[in-house]
Structure 1
Amino acid sequence: KSKGCVGVLSEHAGLPAALALSNDGKVLLTGGRDQLINVWDLSELSLIASTAALEPVEGLHVLPSEAADSELRFVSAGGNGRLRMWAGTAQSSIVQQQPAVEGQVALVQLVGCGEQLLAVTEDHNLLLHSSASLELERCIVGYNDEITDLKHVPAPAPASVEEVQGNGGETQLAVATNSDQIRLFAMPSMGCRLLTGHSDIVLGLDVSADGTLIASASKDRTACVWSAESATCLARCVGHVEAVGAVVFSRRASFLVSGSKDKTVKVWDLALLASSAATEVSPRAAATALAHAKDINALAISPNDGLVLSGSQDRTLKVWGARDVGLKSGGRGVLGGLVELATLSGHKRGVWAVAFSPTDKVAASASGDMTVKVWSMSSWSCLRTLEGHTASVLKVHFLLDGSQLVSSGSDGLIKLWTLKTSECVCTLDGHEDKVWALDVCTRGSGVELLSGSADSTIVRWRDVTADEQQTAKQEEEVRLQHEEVLRNAMAARHFAAAFDAAMHLRQPRALRLVVEALCASPRGDETLRETLVGIDGDALVHCLECVRTWNTTAQHSLTAHRLLSAVVRSHSAEQLAAVPHGKQLVEALLSYTQRHFERLDRLLLASRLVEYTLTSMRTLLPASVERDADATIADADSSSAPPLGALPLGFAGGVGGGDKIDVNSDGDESAREGDLAVAEEVAAQAVACSEALGEDAVSDDAEFLLAQRWDAEGEVAAGESAAGSFKIAARGGKKSRGAQATGVSAGRAGKRARDASSTAVGRKKDAARAARGSSTPRSSSTPRARAVGSGVRNGAALSAPSQ
């Protein structure tokens, strides 16, 4: 209540590391690094007894008692890695303890978990023991450290009918980490057992074909053989003078091959295991060969036990033949020697892994030069070189049928290769560091990969080829169904159903065709907005992605913006803001949209120029001609002949670009006066142009038009006006067949007028020459200068016709 210190217990000479209270709360147990367990009376704060534990005490736990006056019983955990059960208060004594095991890891904590005791080891493992017998019931690994190797341990063949009915034993996984322990995991539950016996880091593992034995290679210069069932050491192979880097079991005979840093390969006879399965034995070395110039990193034995393949840091592989010396053990041949058959060179860095094909006479090697090579075991030549890793290749394995192999490397990747095409068909990325360990196992009808990395993780990879094929087949069936629905809906013009089918297909082209057809229908934009009201989430994202794709081309940009407009009008700002990656989609639209608007601006500007040109061409027509053209249009509509207005632009009459010109010799007086005014203006411009060019004569066209002004007789004026109209109609007739009838009619009228006024025109020409100061009449042989005059009317240029 006062939150103050009641007393100080200071009998420990070292650091107190463990505390435990009795069930009634009257007794306190303390343990420390001074290897003592003290019992305290809390009522008087006095020491009752002190017991020597003979190990640093890291954990204490009081066991529950059935009666209040029963004897105090508690369990201690310490530096020896064993649990001990104690009884008594005044004089505590050991009632039960675990057997001592060489290399056992110290315990750092002890906690009660119901009827079990949870002990925490120094290397972060959780051990669950029975509180009654202190037997280990389960081990949970909390930290793997750097994984150096792993092997799949198949379930042993069932020996009885009961095991067959119970599916036999369970498969296991042997893992070597950056420690002297081997961890044996049960695959279904991932419960773990620890194999202790090495005194240094374990570098390599191998498993016998029947799954009963596990071999390990360690830096302590030994190779050990373990029982997969009992997790005990059966044999210890001693003979190498350097660290052992690789071991491999024979597939049919009872021998083990090991390779070491001392550059030698040794063959060990394991025949003694059959006679002394309960005790650890020391096999003899049946053969020793100085194999390489540097460390030996990898070993492999062919499926028929006839060849041994070794890979070394000296960048070479060596093939060894098995030499039988006639030693027999239980009907199985034992390898008695090694004969070098070939040296395979080609790698540029050290060889890290080798493997034999299960079906063909080929082998594979993985090297630090980032390549995997496939070698022929008949011709000793390199058949394939597989390149794809970006760092050293550390492991390689053939799959069951031998047509594919899998490799792992320092780049953290696992690659699946097809030997027929030498291509990488799959890359697995599940690790963040070097993948040192890789193994292949069968699981049902498929294949399963197991990988371990320096990032302390173990990953199980399942073959999903059959699942993907089944999924692809189902997706194809669904796609065909939606395509059929889309075709039927488009044919029936049921655009809502067609839009829904296109959205399910997730095909931009199908959606574009539906949107274009829908927009072309009556109330198309409104129907499109109504269709888009109900979509959200992935469907809305798909629409915006299609808009982004279509907007990249000018051909489909209008469709894209119509769909975008419908989306924006049918959804609120909050819904659009919640679209994933909406900002990126809008930014992708902006640049192309700006280009499209610039293109439309240029097109609009060009259309304004065309409009201005057509308007200017129409202003060139005299007012009387425009009025007559309107009358001609009315007459042409009632006639069977095609009107002049039906001709292409620029070919109707040659002047007004589509305006109809009806020249009639019987035009009214006001029309003649307008024509004469234009003729006078054109003639004056022609004279001015001729004088500017320094010519001493004017064109006959200008003289003829000027004479019209001087002639006061109405008949002459009418004739010359008709002649001028004839020229205009004649030029239009040359460009359009539709204008020929009008030109011929005007030509006949002009001819009659010229015959009547030829004499008066001649007199007026002479008078015009005299007025300009020309005293000598122009000879017929004198060259005539043709002046081109231009008259301006309402801001438009007009070229004077030549006679």
Structure 2
Amino acid sequence: MPDATGGKIQLKSRLLNFHAPPFKVSHTIGSLYTGGKADITADENLLITTVGDCIDITDIHNGKRVFRLSGDSEIITTFAITPNGKELVSSSRSLGVKIWDLTTGKIKRSFKAHEAPIIIMDIDATSTLVATGSADSTIKIWDIDGGFCTHNFKGHGGIVSALKFYSENDRWTLISGSDDCNIRIWDLQSRTCVGVLKSHVSIIRGLDVTHDGKFIISGARDKVVNIWDFNKKTLVKTFLMYESIEKLGILQPQTTIDDIEDSSVGEMFYTGGEKGIIRIWDVQTGKLIKSQEPEKNTNHTITDIIYLRKSNILAAVTNDQNILFYQIATSLKRIKQIVGHNDEVIDLVYVGQDESHLAVATNTEQIRLYNAQSFDCSIVYGHKDIVICLSRSHDGKMLISGSKDCTAKIWNVDVDNENHEERVKCIGVCIGHTEAIGAIALPTKKGNFCITGSQDRTIKLWDLNPLDPTKSEENFKLKALYTHHAHEKDINSIAIASNNKIYATGSQDKTIKIWSVEDGSLLGTCVGHKRGVWSVHFSPVDHTFVSSSGDKTIKIWSSTDFSCLKTFEGHTNSVLKVSFLTSGLQLISCGSDGLLKLWTIKSNECVTTLDNHTEKIWAMAVRKDEKFIASGGADSLINFWEDCTIEEMEQRIKEEEELIVKEQDLSNYLMKKDYKNAIVLALALNQPFRLLNLFTEIINNRPEGDTSITGSKPIDNIIATLSIENIEQMLKYIRDWNTNAKKSGTAQTVLNVILKNFSSEELLKIPDIKGLLDGLLPYTERHYQRLDRMLTDSYIVDYTLHAMDLLDPLNGNKMEIDE
């Protein structure tokens, strides 16, 4: 028995003969949240987010989409979830309101609510009423079950920006804020405004009521939080926040924080805003109790905060479409991240000892670390500008990133660490390039060095021996062993040979250069591409390497004499990445045409094209076992392509075995003259020739005195009992037989049986029955013209039935139609 690799290669080779795609998309990471409203159900099982003009409902534990609530082609402005988790109310710029059943994902009712888009919603604790605040300055309250308006409040002089239901005993109140800087209190029983609170000088963004019902707390973009006496409708205190507030709320009573032991702290409230951090304050004193640690080198702001009361977590929704979860009890420690939108995927690599995770650069300063099989994602902060390129060590425990901030950072990767912040930690930095680093490489086998290439046209080799993986030393500077001016234009790719003795660089100057690792001396230059070189990769088994270019070609080169050995053409645009597969027997490439192509090197043939992207594919990573290939591009999509070669081959073999058995059964039926099973099986196997021989034999061997149409009453009965699908298939065979004079007699005889036993209503169920019947009867051109004039589709079959009566198999009369 061959080893696993050899068997896999052999199976791939056999499968390619069938022209079957050996890869299929197993799962995809796409956009989950593109901005706007985001929320989580009270049971903390479903994440609900806006994606363009739709709303996605996602299982928060595994990342699988439960429902997509289709929009009306207009942007969703806001939505609200009923506290019981059964319904969702949404609105869009089309001014329509929709009420959805969250158990089925279906619309229960819809209606037009305001004369301008709805900006804010709130639902009361009983899940009965929903309040909508609009850009038309009005507030309306709706019965959710009935879909009718119960209240219509007017009084604000601007866009309604905040709403809060409050009820205590028989006291039903709605509190609202607007960009007129005023807060209004509405009594639902009397349907009047019972108070106007004036103090803020900017748009109101957050409202809440303390648990004892005595105070209203409000936050605005004027960087202050006000405490109001609910009964007296007067301002009690003002706390200066030093940031524009986008969201605030009251924490549950007896909420504890690990390192806070001050017994005098009473009720607490949280805030979030332009600084991008969550802070917790004392309601009575305005004292800052706890602030989360700022994320390193980030400039995001908080647009909303979701309070998960069940698990005591605050989830910050950021303006860069991420949702960051902070545990209140552990001093606002970040415990989870959900990446809503990846922007443009620039590069990606598999990391971890078992390559279970994917590090992704997405046109931002952060690196996203995805668990390839689950919803879990860690965001790695550190760079000050966009991360352009990534590379990994041979064991997957080290990651290196190059950025527009002119630095490369070395990261130690421990994907099994329960602490998200410790999974990827910076242990060193390469500083020395004067422009963005566009290419980077670590050895594919053991080696303590890395190579960087920059837009400053230089390459540098760095010594990694001083690094200590156990220490987090973000400012530990590595030493460059040498620097060389390498190309005349930007360096796009660097690859190190498996022997760690040479490396290749590909550049926009259309050349590939081979260098010595030891001293950086130039060994050779490969010239042949007509456009810039985007990617280079060494063969794992021989002295060759492959390159891809903007000239739409892929070339294989000798790494000994630097000559071009093969050229592959097939992409319709720039080829951005290329890599060896199957122990150097195949290539996988991706390009600006949004396609991945699998090539067989020996034959220069593209054997498979994989298509699941809509934009250019910038990034591609092959797992070591080649079971999965990940691709990412400008469409913000990451596809995981699973190698299904063995499964496909096994399925093919199974189908072949079943076909052989069925063909043997067919031969047995024919020998036994079991014509019923023979006809059905021949139709199932799509073997018209066997059917033709069967019918011809029966017709030619008609017994004396037989009055059947075919020469066998059982055969007539078998045809008469076929399904309409089988009859359609039979008519197609008859149409083909009828084109040959030697076969037309058999064709006309079988057709006669069909038309004698099936009504016109039954035959008219067959798609394009008129087209099938055309050519079946031996009409002259004159008769066809007359039929076209006289007959309609509704009774052509009846007319054909009548015509077939003239074709009597007993006396051999020819059909004649009298004008």
TM-score by shorter chain over 0.5: yes
Picking from 162, 165, 174, the partner of 2:359 is: 174
Counterpart CA distance in 1 for 2:680 and 2:220 is 75
Say whether 1:188 aligns with 2:376: no
Q: Is the 8 A contact 1:313 1:351 kept in 2?
A: yes
Counterpart CA distance in 1 for 2:690 and 2:213 is 79
The corresponding residue for 2:413 is 228
- Helix, strand or coil at the partner of 1:211: coil
Say whether 1:481 aligns with 2:661: yes
Using the TM superposition, give the Cα deviation of residue 198 of structure 1 relative to its aligned residue in structure 2, in angstroms.
Answer: 2.0
The corresponding residue for 2:717 is 527
Of 143-152 and 38-47, more deviation after overlay is shown by 38-47
Q: Is the 8 A contact 1:366 1:395 kept in 2?
A: yes
Q: Is the 8 A contact 1:502 1:514 kept in 2?
A: no
Using the TM superposition, give the Cα deviation of residue 552 of structure 1 relative to its aligned residue in structure 2, in angstroms.
Answer: 5.8
Say whether 1:142 aligns with 2:305: no
- Helix, strand or coil at the partner of 1:266: strand
The corresponding residue for 2:65 is none
TM-score by length of 2: 0.64
Residue 52 and residue 497 in structure 1: after superposition, are their counterparts in 2 closer, same or farther (change >3 A)?
A: same
Measured against aligned partners, the alpha-carbon deviations of 1:689-729 in whole angstroms (never above 9, x if no partner) come to xxxxxxxxxxxxxxxxxxxxxxxxxxxxxxxxxxxxxxxxx
Say whether 1:151 aligns with 2:349: yes
Using the TM superposition, give the Cα deviation of residue 465 of structure 1 relative to its aligned residue in structure 2, in angstroms.
Answer: 0.9
Using the TM superposition, give the Cα deviation of residue 549 of structure 1 relative to its aligned residue in structure 2, in angstroms.
Answer: 5.1
Say whether 1:315 aligns with 2:510: yes
Using the TM superposition, give the Cα deviation of residue 106 of structure 1 relative to its aligned residue in structure 2, in angstroms.
Answer: 1.7
- Helix, strand or coil at the partner of 2:201: coil
Measured against aligned partners, the alpha-carbon deviations of 1:35-79 in whole angstroms (never above 9, x if no partner) come to 222223322322232222222222223222259x99322322222
Using the TM superposition, give the Cα deviation of residue 202 of structure 1 relative to its aligned residue in structure 2, in angstroms.
Answer: 1.7
Q: Is the 8 A contact 2:438 2:491 kept in 1?
A: yes
Picking from 557, 561, 575, the partner of 1:375 is: 557
- Which residues in structure 2 correspond to 1:566-585 (within 5 Å)? 582-583=767-768
Counterpart CA distance in 2 for 1:542 and 1:398 is 46
Using the TM superposition, give the Cα deviation of residue 144 of structure 1 relative to its aligned residue in structure 2, in angstroms.
Answer: 1.1
Picking from 87, 95, 101, the partner of 2:289 is: 95
Measured against aligned partners, the alpha-carbon deviations of 1:304-334 in whole angstroms (never above 9, x if no partner) come to 11011000011110000122xxxxxxxxxxx
The corresponding residue for 1:640 is none
The corresponding residue for 2:675 is 495
The corresponding residue for 1:49 is 237
Counterpart CA distance in 1 for 2:761 and 2:480 is 78
Q: Is the 8 A contact 1:551 1:589 kept in 2?
A: no
The corresponding residue for 2:442 is 249
Counterpart CA distance in 2 for 1:31 and 1:550 is 83
The corresponding residue for 1:20 is 208
Q: Is the 8 A contact 1:21 1:27 kept in 2?
A: yes
Using the TM superposition, give the Cα deviation of residue 126 of structure 1 relative to its aligned residue in structure 2, in angstroms.
Answer: 2.0
TM-score by length of 1: 0.65
Measured against aligned partners, the alpha-carbon deviations of 1:327-369 in whole angstroms (never above 9, x if no partner) come to xxxxxxxxxx300000000111110000001111110000011
Using the TM superposition, give the Cα deviation of residue 298 of structure 1 relative to its aligned residue in structure 2, in angstroms.
Answer: 0.6
Q: Is the 8 A contact 2:535 2:547 kept in 1?
A: yes
Q: Give the letter for the 1:375 counterpart.
A: W
Measured against aligned partners, the alpha-carbon deviations of 1:218-247 in whole angstroms (never above 9, x if no partner) come to 222221222222323222222112221111
Using the TM superposition, give the Cα deviation of residue 212 of structure 1 relative to its aligned residue in structure 2, in angstroms.
Answer: 1.5
Q: Which protein, 1 or 2, shows the higher relative CO under an 8 Å CA cutoff with sep ≥ 6?
A: 2
- Helix, strand or coil at the partner of 2:669: helix
Picking from 634, 648, 656, the partner of 1:468 is: 648
Say whether 1:449 aligns with 2:629: yes
Q: Is the 8 A contact 1:200 1:218 kept in 2?
A: yes
Q: Give the letter for the 2:454 counterpart.
A: S
Counterpart CA distance in 2 for 1:408 and 1:372 is 11
Q: Give the letter for the 2:679 counterpart.
A: F
Q: Is the 8 A contact 2:426 2:472 kept in 1?
A: no
The corresponding residue for 2:317 is 120
Q: Give the letter for the 1:122 counterpart.
A: N
The corresponding residue for 2:524 is 342
Q: Is the 8 A contact 2:735 2:775 kept in 1?
A: no
Q: Is the 8 A contact 1:173 1:184 kept in 2?
A: yes
Picking from 231, 256, 265, the partner of 2:459 is: 265
Using the TM superposition, give the Cα deviation of residue 146 of structure 1 relative to its aligned residue in structure 2, in angstroms.
Answer: 1.1
Picking from 416, 421, 430, the partner of 1:237 is: 430
Q: Is the 8 A contact 1:411 1:434 kept in 2?
A: yes
The corresponding residue for 2:500 is 305
Q: Give the letter for the 2:342 counterpart.
A: N
Using the TM superposition, give the Cα deviation of residue 428 of structure 1 relative to its aligned residue in structure 2, in angstroms.
Answer: 0.7
Q: Is the 8 A contact 2:676 2:715 kept in 1?
A: no
CA RMSD of aligned residues (A): 2.9
Residue 514 and residue 363 in structure 1: after superposition, are their counterparts in 2 closer, same or farther (change >3 A)?
A: same
Counterpart CA distance in 2 for 1:36 and 1:561 is 92
Using the TM superposition, give the Cα deviation of residue 297 of structure 1 relative to its aligned residue in structure 2, in angstroms.
Answer: 0.6
Unaligned runs of 5+ in 2: 1-187, 256-263, 415-422, 699-708, 785-819
Measured against aligned partners, the alpha-carbon deviations of 1:498-522 in whole angstroms (never above 9, x if no partner) come to 1222233234434544555677342
- Helix, strand or coil at the partner of 2:306: strand
Of 258-267 and 105-114, more deviation after overlay is shown by 105-114
Counterpart CA distance in 1 for 2:746 and 2:235 is 92
Measured against aligned partners, the alpha-carbon deviations of 1:376-396 in whole angstroms (never above 9, x if no partner) come to 112211111111111110000
Counterpart CA distance in 2 for 1:79 and 1:587 is 70
Residue 10 and residue 141 in structure 1: after superposition, are their counterparts in 2 closer, same or farther (change >3 A)?
A: same
Residue 529 and residue 272 in structure 1: after superposition, are their counterparts in 2 closer, same or farther (change >3 A)?
A: same
Using the TM superposition, give the Cα deviation of residue 597 of structure 1 relative to its aligned residue in structure 2, in angstroms.
Answer: 2.7
Residue 314 and residue 34 in structure 1: after superposition, are their counterparts in 2 closer, same or farther (change >3 A)?
A: same
Measured against aligned partners, the alpha-carbon deviations of 1:74-93 in whole angstroms (never above 9, x if no partner) come to 32222222222223x23122
Q: Is the 8 A contact 2:503 2:514 kept in 1?
A: yes
Counterpart CA distance in 2 for 1:6 and 1:550 is 89
Say whether 1:37 aligns with 2:225: yes
Counterpart CA distance in 2 for 1:208 and 1:383 is 29
Using the TM superposition, give the Cα deviation of residue 135 of structure 1 relative to its aligned residue in structure 2, in angstroms.
Answer: 2.3
Q: Is the 8 A contact 2:221 2:245 kept in 1?
A: yes
Counterpart CA distance in 2 for 1:85 and 1:485 is 78
Residue 592 and residue 56 in structure 1: after superposition, are their counterparts in 2 closer, same or farther (change >3 A)?
A: farther
Using the TM superposition, give the Cα deviation of residue 271 of structure 1 relative to its aligned residue in structure 2, in angstroms.
Answer: 2.4
The corresponding residue for 1:274 is 468
Which has the greater radius of gyration?
1
Residue 70 and residue 465 in structure 1: after superposition, are their counterparts in 2 closer, same or farther (change >3 A)?
A: same
Q: Is the 8 A contact 2:250 2:268 kept in 1?
A: yes
Residue 576 and residue 282 in structure 1: after superposition, are their counterparts in 2 closer, same or farther (change >3 A)?
A: farther
Residue 377 and residue 74 in structure 1: after superposition, are their counterparts in 2 closer, same or farther (change >3 A)?
A: same
Of 351-360 and 77-86, more deviation after overlay is shown by 77-86
- Helix, strand or coil at the partner of 1:240: coil
Per residue, is there more helix in 1 or in 2?
A: 1
Q: Is the 8 A contact 1:396 1:406 kept in 2?
A: yes
Say whether 1:73 aligns with 2:268: yes
Counterpart CA distance in 1 for 2:388 and 2:749 is 67
Residue 569 and residue 256 in structure 1: after superposition, are their counterparts in 2 closer, same or farther (change >3 A)?
A: farther
Counterpart CA distance in 2 for 1:84 and 1:123 is 20
